[in-house]
Structure 1
Amino acid sequence: MVWLTMLAAIFVLLVIGLALAAWFVRAPVPKVEGTIIVSGLGAPVTIRRDARGVPHIDARSETDAYFAEGFAAAQDRLWQMDTLRRQAEGRVSEIAGEAGLDSDVYMRTLGFDEAAAAFARSMDPRSRAALEAYAAGVNAAAASHPLPIEFKLVGYGWRPWTPKDTFAIVELEAQQLDDQWYYQTIKADLVDKFGLKTADALVDMQLPALEHHIPGYARTARAAGLNAARVEPVVPLHIALNFPNPTGHERGSGSNNWVVSGSRTSTGRPVLSNDTHLSRTLPSIWWIVDLHGGPLHAAGLTLPGLPGVVIGHNERIAWGITSAEEAVQDLYVERFRSATSDEYVANGRWIKAKRRVENIAVKGQPDVVLDILITRHGPIIRRTGTQGIALAWTVLNGSGSYRAVLDIDTARNYQAFRKALSYSLCPVLNFGYADVDGNIGYQDSGAVPLRARGDGSLPVEGQDDLYAWRGTVPYDELPHALNPPAGHLETANQELVPPSFRPILSTYFEPPFRVNRIATLLSQARSASPEQIGAIQADVFDYPRLQLARATGRMLANDPDPALRALASRLASWDGMMTADSRIPTFVVAQDEQLTRDMFEPALGEDLYARYDANYWPIVPLLRALSGDDRARAAGVTRASVQAAVVRAARESLSALGPRGLDGAKPWGRQNEALYRHPLSAKWFLSFLSPPPVVQPGSGFAIYAAKPKHGP
């Protein structure tokens, strides 16, 4: 009887525990049916959720629509919105402890919170009305229902949303896309080790046979008030910077955008396709909404915390985006009076740097105090003795507008679309365009510095104005196009204009593998359906891995080892498709990784090689060498050396697969599994918050640019 009583008690406690757990989890689920009374609206608003949970908002005015958008976004993503603004503000350590400290130090040093506040103060009236209405909607939702479960699990509360928080998230996304300063540090270390000529060759991504530029920009442009046809070379400083990667940028990762004229489609109307590729998050960084209020009727994607529609369409036009990879950052080397002084040299005079003291609260530990110096160029992100490295970045200027997003959402034609983008400051983006009148177009947008000298590829001296910024490139000088003769336009983070174009917009961009594949497929379209054009997004052809496989097949075709001859035969027949069920991609990627390590790590050293390889650079010198291109020699790579390394890497990679060879390799989809991680799932007892890995095809060099932590 005692045992029965104990079992009954345990059963009752278990039932009570499960009931409490169910309540704990379900209580924060937002109300999506019925009527909710809130203050702040000018008239009743309807939010209808479809079968997928997407909110369709119907309001009488724009401001009410933005209020309702903020309300719905908070219902779905309140904790995500809070974590995003905390990242931008540098306040992750308050809730995460020491694990968030490195990120907080970086963000506080940049001064994102201060810049976001300046953005908010300088808003135009339309932006202010929209962002204030959105913030009011967010706060109304937060007040009308229990907070999401993550707040309870971490143990903290909600701070009211403000327009400044929206700008903080814009800056955070710009930080993920604008990483040219980090590239500058890698090239600086390469220059320090090998000299300028070799460093240039090691980071040169140009492959003329595969290039696709924005049409109409083979000419040399002239920026207003500056003879930019001549670019003075940067004097290498020979400083070893050895910076860690601040953004987590992965090799061969990026986004795609293309638009096809109705002359090439089965419907006779234009088709626009866009797939953005960012770091994988759970939930997604994107949020879908259909927004209707007064003259506004737009649908598509935005980020939680951002009002309006960032990617999508209205009743007249459609638009999509990719990162333009333009040089919006520079590193300036400042010379201080002494190792402890805050005075630095500027045009022959000692001037005092501004000082900002930041106090970082760290959960479970004492606060961390940062003493940050800001020169005329920007914050000092590293200091060694009398030398400091200052970061100049357009995002940190603290003036701008949210008007570009709002005006695009209500634009009716290409002219209004271009006018809207003239207000855009950051991040720098490629915009594809299509409209119901049959037009297709393109616009480069954002503030790109106009340099007196240099090209944004290396750190420069800050002691004088030799490398000063002279404002920004005039908007009309930025690349744009309308109805090109080819009948299609495409961007994939590639070099937008030929090297002869002035002013120089960028020296760091992704190799042209994806954009060449897109252009090739679109050029074959004659009467393609929207579904066929959209299906290009799932294309998994990997050009550089195919070239490596073919070269390996030729070199091993007559090898005395029968296993290698069999491998050569299978590689020779491979089509370069990184499909999930194929084992050949698993081998070729392993061979590629071994090959690049063998070719570059001995000369670069372990640390510099790791940073160099993480930015997809080695593949181009290797391809040049395999094809007999003499430019590879400047990078220290000869055809004979790379051929020997290809064979050696093939042998080692095949041996690593075991006695079954290729048949023993994992299918590529399992080797390349997509990882979606909830921020709290690192704790073992919360691991259930993250789903299992997802089998996926693709690669960093394919249109379907899918990697474990980065992808569509």
Structure 2
Amino acid sequence: MSLRLPLPNGWVRGVNNGAEMGTLFRWLLRLSLAGMAFILIGLIAVYYLASRSLPEYDADHRVAGLSAPVEIVRDNNNVPHIFGDSDADVFFGLGFAHAQDRLWQMTMMRRTAQGRLSELFGERTLKIDELLRRLDIYRLAQDSVAVQDPDTRAALEAYARGVNAWITTVNDQAKGRGAPEFFLFEPEVAYWQPADSLAIIKLMGLRLSAHLEQEVLRARLSLLLDEGRVRDLMPDAPGRGLIDLPDYASLAPGVQPSTAPLTRLAAGPLSPFPRRALAGASNAWAAAPGRAAAGGTLLANDPHMGFAAPGPWYLARLDLSTGAVIGGTIPGMPLVLAGRSDRLGWAVTSSYLDDQDVFLEQLNPDNPEEYRTPDGFKPFETRRTIIKVADAAPVTVTLRWTENGPVLPGTHYDLASVTPPGHVSTLGWTILSGADTSMSAALGIMRAQTVDAAIEAGRFFVAPSQNLTVVDQERIALQTIGAMPRRLAGHQSMGRMPVPGWRAENRWQGRLNYAANPRVIDPDSGILGNTNNKLVDRPFPLHVSYHWGDTQRIQRWRRLMESRKVHTRESFIEAQLDTVSFTARALLPLIGRDLWFTGEPAPAGSPERRRQQALDLLAEWNGEMNEHLPEPLIYAAWLRRLQDRLIRDDLGPLADEFTHVDPLFIERVFRNVDGASAWCDIRQSGPVESCTEIARRALDEALLWLDETYGGQLQSLRWGEAHQAWHDHPVLGETPFLKWVVNIRQPTSGGDNTLNRGLTRGSAPDPFTNVHGAGYRGVYDFADPESSVFIIATGQSGHPLSRHYDDLGELWRRGEYIPMTLDPDLARAAAVGITRLRPRRK
């Protein structure tokens, strides 16, 4: 007989609950595994689709538009060496190679120039599109095709055929739409046209121009401050000073002073309109044979532009009938913009030529569709354009032009703040020409065999103005190329502030003769160079500019050039990579002269002790902006806080426009030039503050910020941690997950005022991020041309899955270069892939 005892209450339920939990666990496990499998399959599919657009460089293609076979020989760094029977076929090959590696970048530049970003990105780019349409640069590029010389038109047409041959190949062979970005956005790509290449030159002009914003800012300061204090904040480069500049109130009655921050177009990586501090820079220098150790001319060049991934530069070699050329190209243009041939080397730097003027146009009170001219009221030229906007209704914009240029809304560039009631603002700009022969001039320079021939070719360059440094095997020269507006001596603001557009003395009278452009040929010193510094000391209107890009780097360059009787390729490389800040060496003894070694004993951990430690570090520092040192970060933070303390009480929110320290301003204040030490006194306080007191407070604030931001001991700070170069993808760079794939970020040396320039962002939250610098470097020695070296800041490919997306970036960061040969046998011997293009059978 068996005895069955009843189970305690809850035992059966517990067993059931356990079974249910086991079942739930198994289903959760199955769902998790299925989800992981689904994600894995999705990632594999994404990778497969994206990798389809990776070009195969060792391949044969039958293409339309060729007259004879072309070979694109690629070396281990993915630099294409392009060989063909005719120049047209070589330019075809360059277009094909550019499209293989940078199709998305090229189409985005074209779309930007056309004012069609909003078709992809919606309302966030509408303001950008609207301004591009008002400037009408794409239509002007279309008009300019007809004025190119026959060789240039042939090059443009052949290049376009090459781009289109790759687009056709992508479509015919299902090569992943040509770039992975096309899977996320509109996949349709219009065929390339010659006008597209001309539009990209004008787009570069937008990225290099800042005079419009300078004029608006100076006008606003003139309404707030007396002329002496305006000179402090926006000082002239050393040399002849400006005399008798009127107050802006006399030019624009009814405009009220304001300290409100400037309004501007939507910022961000998609905007081609930089802040004035980020509007172009560059270095170039040359040595004659008598100043070169090996007896041949030397040339170094590093043009500066905003960083991006991929960067704007692309290395290539072209085998032309006038001789092979090699160097830096811009995808979208059939041109080696900076480089060398066997006989000639050419370099470009921003000239800072004042090629923009803002005009105030008075409206007819009885008819707002008319504006005032010297001959009475005239109607605006008007045209309507429609901007398509993703996920929104199309926007119709009425374009209006006057004899001085296009009308710009007051919402752009903060023009409303300086435009009187009953007026509109227009822009005069040399780039707004439908007869722009800049491409013909640039190709002429590339094909030139001598210094004289290159200078003569530059005669036809219109915009954006550049300083052309050029050497042949015996001679060196520097020539400013680009149209100089002919202003009358009686111009009311000398081009520095907006002026009434109906007054004849303010209107441009065409262009100055090419002979008026600055030129230096075979200087007695045997050395010449440009760091965007002031070129000439001529009175207005032959002054070239009142706003220059550099007053500091040129001082360090002179020191390096004068330190040697003869130079070598290596000494030119050393100068190109130099990170010593002349500015730090000059300013620190000035602002800290009453602080060095004067502090009282202070307990450990106190602000006073930390200040003493910082001053001790800076006292022993040689000014080298090295990424591994703490002193550059302490110095940069101190100067940033100091300038803000000096101007904030006078300018209020408008102080945010001065994002970068102006060394001339700091020097004027601490030397009390023309009473500039008045900036040290805080208006709102009762006591009169001294400059030493302000410097001490600024240092304490900087140290507090450093402690809150980076923590640790001062000695453990590293400049490179704050001064990272951000090469971000303009479209995907802020996308979660993808940003880790497409962005390239590296700690770097250099700073705002070093020859190896790494211009900082300037604005919070990462004010010292490196966002603008040398995207291309080249050093050429004509005693041994094949020893010339090159580098770009990212990689040749614009495809994030390519090993060539960032492979050159680490070399660039370390200050290393790659060789590039003009010897066809060496190029073929080092080939890792040959793309053969053959005419398609009819």
TM-score, normalised relative to structure 2: 0.77
Please give the secondary structure, in 1, of the residue aligned with 2:154: helix
Change (3 A) 1:256 1:653: same
User: 553, 570, 573: which is aligned to 1:514?
Assistant: 553
Between the aligned partners of 2:625 and 2:530, the Cα distance in structure 1 is 21
Corresponding position: 1:144 with 2:169: yes
Q: Is the 8 A contact 2:287 2:567 kept in 1?
A: no
CA distance in 2 between partners of 1:532 and 1:672 (Å): 26
Q: Give, in angstroms, the shift of residue 645 of structure 1.
A: 1.4
**Distance (whole Å) between structure 2 residues aligned to residue 542 and residue 252 of structure 1:** 21
CA distance in 1 between partners of 2:357 and 2:319 (Å) = 41
Rounded to whole Å, the distance in 1 between the matches of 2:577 and 2:308 is 20
One-letter amino acid matched to 1:709: V
Query: What residue in structure 2 maps to residue 610 of structure 1?
Result: 656
Provide the secondary structure at the position in 2 that maps to 1:310.
Answer: strand
Q: Distance in 1 between matches of 2:555 and 2:540?
A: 20
Residue number in structure 2 paired with 1:87: 112
Q: Deviations over 1:148-173 (max 9, x none)?
A: 11111223310111011111111110
2:697 matched to 1:648? yes
Shift of 1:567: 2.7
Residue 465 of structure 2 aligns with an amino acid whose one-letter code is V
**Aligned mates of 1:634, 1:330 — CA distance in 2:** 32
Spell out, residue by residue over 1:589-648, the C-alpha distance to the aligned partner (whole angstroms, 9 max, x if none): 111111111111211121x2222x13x474312112323534736988899743321111
In structure 2, what is the Cα distance between the partners aligned to 1:466 and 1:634?
36
1:427: which partner in 2?
464
Where does residue 754 of structure 2 map in the other structure? 702
Pick one of 182, 205, 223 that aligns with 1:192. 223
**Matched position secondary structure for 1:336:** strand
Q: Secondary structure at the match of 2:409?
A: strand
Deviation (angstroms), 1:342: 1.3
Contact 1:339 / 1:386 at 8 angstroms: preserved in 2? no
Q: Distance in 1 between matches of 2:377 and 2:36?
A: 77
Deviation at 1:392, TM superposition (A): 0.5
Q: Distance in 2 between matches of 1:572 and 1:641?
A: 22
Superposed CA deviations along residues 646-678 of structure 1, whole A, max 9, x for unmatched, are 111112222333497762663001111111111
Residue 773 of structure 2: aligned partner: 711
Q: Note the alpha carbon deviations across 1:488-508, whole angstroms, 9 max, x for none.
A: 111111111115475121111
Q: In structure 2, what is the equivalent of residue 449 of structure 1?
A: 485
Question: How far did 1:118 drift?
Answer: 1.5
Query: What are the equivalent positions in structure 2 for 1:325-336 lying under 5 Å apart?
Result: 325-336=352-363
Find the residue that maps to 1:372 and give its secondary structure. strand
Relative distance call for 1:388 and 1:79 in structure 2 (3 A) is same
1:427-470 per-residue CA deviation (whole Å, 9 max, x = no partner) reads 1001111112x211111100010101332111111122111111
Determine helix, strand or coil for the equivalent of 1:497.
coil
Could you tell me which of 381, 384, 395 is aligned with 2:431?
A: 395
Please tell me the residue identity of whatever aligns with 1:411. A
1:594 and 2:633 matched: no
1:374 aligns with 2:401: yes
- Does residue 170 of structure 1 match 2:201? yes
Q: CA RMSD in A?
A: 2.7
Taking the aligned partners of 2:592 and 2:690, their CA distance within structure 1 comes to 17
Counterpart pick for 1:559 among 599, 605, 608: 599
1:149-548 equivalence runs, <5 A: 149-207=180-238, 236=248, 237-238=251-252, 239=255, 242-244=262-264, 246-250=273-277, 254-338=281-365, 341-383=368-410, 385-401=421-437, 402-436=439-473, 438-452=474-488, 453-454=490-491, 455-500=494-539, 503-548=542-587
Distance in structure 1 (CA, Å) of the matches to 2:365 and 2:661? 38
Which sits farther off after the overlay, 157-166 or 626-635?
626-635
The equivalent residue for 1:43 is: 68
Out of 488-497 and 196-205, give the one that drifted further.
Answer: 196-205
For the 8 Å contact 1:302–1:308, the answer to whether it is kept is yes
Q: Distance in 2 between matches of 1:416 and 1:596?
A: 47
Provide Cα deviations, 1:502-523, integer angstroms capped at 9, x if missing partner: 5121111123101111121011
Shift of 1:20: 2.1
CA contact (8 A) 1:317 1:411 kept: yes
Paired AA for residue 389 in structure 2: V
Partner of 1:668: 719
CA distance in 2, matches of 1:234, 1:89: 38
Question: Are 2:486 and 2:510, in contact at CA under 8 Å, matched by a contact in 1?
Answer: yes
State whether structure 2 residue 94 is matched by structure 1 residue 107.
Answer: no
Q: Distance in 2 between matches of 1:422 and 1:447?
A: 9
CA apart distance, 1:14: 5.8
Query: CA-to-partner distance for each residue in 1:161-211, whole Å, 9 max, x for gaps?
Result: 101111111111001112211100000001111244432343114235xxx
Which residue identity lines up with residue 559 of structure 1 in the other structure?
Answer: G
3-state secondary structure, aligned to 1:159: coil
Paired with 1:323 and 1:367, the residues of 2 have a C-alpha distance of 38
Question: Secondary structure of the equivalent of 2:590?
Answer: helix
Give ranges in structure 2 of 5+ residues lacking alignment: 1-22, 266-272, 411-415, 603-608, 683-687, 761-769, 775-842
Q: CA 1:9–1:700 in structure 2 vs 1: closer, same or farther (change >3 Å)?
A: closer
C-alpha contact (below 8 Å) 1:317/1:412 kept by paired residues = yes
User: In 2, are the aligned partners of 1:657 and 1:665 still within 8 Å (CA)?
Assistant: no
- Secondary structure of the equivalent of 2:753? coil
Whether the 8 Å CA contact 1:622–1:642 is kept in 2: the answer is no
Q: Alpha-carbon deviation of 1:122?
A: 2.5
**Structure number with bigger Rg:** 2
Q: Which has the higher contact order (CA 8 A, sep 6+)?
A: 2
Higher mean C-alpha deviation, range 84-93 or range 653-662: 653-662
1:251: Cα distance to partner?
6.0
CA distance in 2, matches of 1:327, 1:8: 65
Displacement of 1:568 in angstroms is: 2.3
Superposed CA offset, 1:224-258 (max 9, x none): xxxxxx99956732546945374234369721111
Q: Could you say what secondary structure the match of 1:331 adopts?
A: strand
Aligned length: 689
Larger CA deviation: 141-150 vs 333-342: 333-342
Q: 1:389 Cα deviation (Å)?
A: 0.5
Distance 1:202 1:10, change over 3 A: closer
Q: Secondary structure, in 3 states, of the residue corresponding to 1:78?
A: helix
| Aligned-residue offset at 1:403 | 1.0
CA-to-partner distance for each residue in 1:548-588, whole Å, 9 max, x for gaps? 33235432221225423333222211111110011111111
CA distance in 2, matches of 1:139, 1:302: 19
User: What is the alpha-carbon distance in structure 2 between the residues aligned to residue 594 and residue 22 of structure 1?
Assistant: 47
CA offsets, 1:682-705, max 9 Å, x none? 221422332352100111111111
Query: In the alignment, which residue of structure 1 is the partner of 2:93?
Result: 68
SS at match of 1:288: strand
Structure 1 unmatched ranges of 5 or more: 209-217, 219-229
Query: In the TM superposition, what is the alpha-carbon distance from 1:544 to its structure 2 partner?
Result: 2.4
